[in-house]
Amino acid sequence: MAIILSINSGSSSVKVSVYKSSARSQPPQQLADAQISGLTAPPAKLAYESGSEKVKDQEVKDINSNEDACEYILNHLVKDKGLSEISSRDDITHVCHRVVHGGDYPDAHVIDEETYHHLEDLTDLAPLHNTSALAIVKACMKALPKAKNIAYFDSSFHATIPEAIRTYPIDPAVAKKNKLRKYGFHGISYAFITRSVAEYLKKPESETSIIALHLGSGASACVIKNGKSLDNSMGLTPLAGLPGATRSGDVDPSLIFHFTHDAGKPGRSSTKELHISTAEEILNKKSGWKALTGTTDFSEISSSQDPKCRLAFDILVDRIIGFIGSYYVKLEGQVDALVFAGGIGEKAALLRTRVVEKCRCLGFELDQQTNNNVIEDVVRDIGKEGTRHRTLVCQTDEQFEMARMCAVGLQSK
């Protein structure tokens, strides 16, 4: 029997789910689910659920990093008397790590001392996104010496994006040398969404074409043609495309050269104090909903009448429909469904309403009653009966997807 820990280390939270995998061709069975959130807005809070225990919003002290959060969760799992499968850390056999940037890796990668440095090299491509995951990989290698660590990359699912879509129109020699191209992210989530939607529609994945939206703290859109990623709104890094909690999303790349108090007077003087890594930090960590409204909580933004919140909401709707229109054309209208996922996509009924209203001309329409109900199924049809295209909500689960891929790997041995 394998005991699999799936770790999703995000920009503001660490989510860890525990699974048992025993029988052949059975999906992994979840034993416990832990999350420490609020890492960027202390105090950090614990949510924990296992057979015997349920905790929500419990403040936890002295958690200052993703590694601290992970260590806290490991201790909690061992201490949980109801979780008999883990009585010591040695009971954990596999640890799946979500690593956002996987460069050219088309598949998951087992991590040992030797291969760890390959992952470190990738961090140069996305320092803001891979660093915390790698710190956790390192901590787990030390804290759980008996377990096998495996990296699952957000970019792998997008290895199928064709050349003309993934290539930036820049000097090809520089692009090649510095590995500058579109990679695309949230792929673990899109793999889960594609499989779940295909199952729901009772179609093979290879005949399923969807426009999917993963709208969380980081948000992206993806077009999946016959089960494979054709395009994703994120790019070289997760900064491109839709805005997010603290990310600007697409802006004119020149904007950053004007981003000082001298703004309005473009020229070298206006940027002389602004180091390029500061620019990256501003666009990734000091923009988005936080910069526009002061909060990163989208439920607050979507229910507020404050003009700043309404503007942020309208910006998200505008950017999303831009991608839907583009992706609809890329699929030549052969769309099985528009799919909403991620914390915002799954819970913000008003956002779904406004987006789908704008896409009415393409043949999408909602059933308002179903849309407004709390959605608990993995996939739920919220579309109006008789419309040309379906609209679905999918409760995506990146931790489960990694555990599932890990279990499939074990079964094929």
Ligand X SMILES: CC(=O)OP(=O)(O)O
Ligand Y SMILES: Nc1ncnc2c1ncn2[C@@H]1O[C@H](COP(=O)(O)OP(=O)(O)O)[C@@H](O)[C@H]1O
- In this chain, which of 49, 53, 199, 297 binds ligand Y, going by CB under 6 A? 297
- In this chain, which of 2, 92, 100, 402 binds ligand X, going by CB under 6 A? 100
Q: Does 154 bind ligand X (CB under 6 A)?
A: yes
Of 159, 151, 170, the residue nearest 110 (C-alpha)? 151
Residue 184 Cβ, how far from ligand X at the closest point, in Å? 9
Please report, as residue ranges, which positions from 67 to 106 form the binding site for ligand Y (by CB under 6 A): none
Of 317, 309, 259, 318, the residue nearest 289 (C-alpha)? 309
- Binding string, residues 177-196; x marks residues near ligand X by CB under 6 A: --------xx----------
100 binds, among Mg ion, ligand X, ligand Y, none (CB under 5 to 8 A by kind): ligand X
238 binds, among Mg ion, ligand X, ligand Y, none (CB under 5 to 8 A by kind): ligand X
Please report, as residue ranges, which positions from 189 to 228 form the binding site for ligand X (by CB under 6 A): 216-218
Largest CA-CA distance found in the chain, in angstroms, rounded: 66
Residue 292 Cβ, how far from ligand X at the closest point, in Å? 18
379: three-class secondary structure by DSSP: strand
CA–CA distance, 257 with 279 (Å, rounded to integer) = 9
- In this chain, which of 103, 216, 227, 288 binds Mg ion, going by CB under 5 A? 216
CA–CA distance, 54 with 33 (Å, rounded to integer) = 10
Q: What is the DSSP string of 49-62?
A: EESS-EEEEEEESS
Binding residue numbers: 8, 15, 98, 214-218, 398
Q: Which stretch binds Mg ion (CB under 5 A): 56-64, 208-216, 283-291, 404-412?
A: 208-216
| Nearer CB in complex with ligand Y: 227/244 | 244
**DSSP label of 383:** B
Size of site (CB under 5 A) for Mg ion: 1
154 as an active site residue: the answer is yes
Residue 238 Cβ, how far from ligand X at the closest point, in Å? 4
Q: What is the DSSP string of 338-377?
A: EEEEHHHHHH-HHHHHHHHHHTGGGT--B-HHHHHS---S
Of 276, 256, 275, the residue nearest 266 (C-alpha)? 256
CA–CA distance, 70 with 75 (Å, rounded to integer) = 9
Residue 343 Cβ, how far from ligand Y at the closest point, in Å? 2
Residue 12 Cβ, how far from ligand X at the closest point, in Å? 8
Residue 206 Cβ, how far from ligand Y at the closest point, in Å? 27
> What residues have CB less than 8 Å from 229, skipping those under 6 apart?
157, 158, 159, 160, 161, 184, 187, 190, 222, 223
CA–CA distance, 402 with 166 (Å, rounded to integer) = 25
What sign has the CA pseudo-torsion 124, 125, 126, 132?
negative
CA–CA distance, 88 with 101 (Å, rounded to integer) = 32
Q: Does 238 bind ligand X (CB under 6 A)?
A: yes
- In this chain, which of 64, 115, 269, 299 binds ligand Y, going by CB under 6 A? 299
Q: Which of 154, 231, 336, 397 is catalytic?
A: 154
- Binding string, residues 212-251; x marks residues near ligand Y by CB under 6 A: ----xxx--------------------------x------
Residue 20 in contact with residue 2, Cβ under 8 Å?
yes
Which residues form the interface with ligand Y (CB under 6 A)? Answer: 10, 12-13, 216-218, 245, 296-299, 302, 342-344, 347-348
Residues belonging to the active site: 154
Residues in contact with ligand X by the rule CB under 6 A: 10-11, 100, 154, 185-186, 216-218, 238
